[in-house]
Amino acid sequence: MGSPLILINFKSYREGAGNNAGQIGSAAEIVMQESGVTIGVAPQFTELHPFCKHYEIPVYAQHIDPVEGAFTGRIPAFTVRAAGCTGSLINHSERRLSIADIEATVAAAKFHHLESVVCTNNVAVSAAAAAFAPTYIAVEPPELIGSGISVAKADPEIILGTVDAVHRVNPDVKVLCGAGIQSGECVKTAISLGADGVLLASSVVKAKDPEAVLRDLVSLL
Query: Who contacts 177 (Cβ-Cβ below 8 Å, separation ≥6)?
Result: 138, 139, 140, 151, 152, 158, 159, 162, 190, 193, 195, 198, 199
Instruction: Look at residue 186 and give its three-state secondary structure.
Output: helix
The residue ranges of DSSP E strands in 55-183, in sequence order, are 60-61, 87-90, 115-120, 136-139, 174-178
- Please count the other Cβ atoms lying within 10 Å of the Cβ belonging to residue 42: 29
34 given a catalytic annotation: no
Residue among 178, 220, 215, 183 nearest 197 (CA) = 178
Angstrom distance (rounded) from CA 176 to CA 19: 28
CA distance 107 to 94: 21
Angle, vertex CA 175, rays to CA 172 and CA 180, nearest 5: 175
Catalytic residue among 15, 47, 115, 140: 140
**Residue 49 falls in the annotated catalytic set:** no
CB 41 within 8 A of CB 18: no
Q: Could you give the CA distance from residue 130 to residue 75 in angstroms, rounded to a whole number?
A: 23
> How far apart are the C-alpha atoms of 11 and 13, rounded to whole Å?
6
From 15, 29, 47, 92, active-site residue? 92
Give the catalytic positions in this structure. Answer: 92, 140
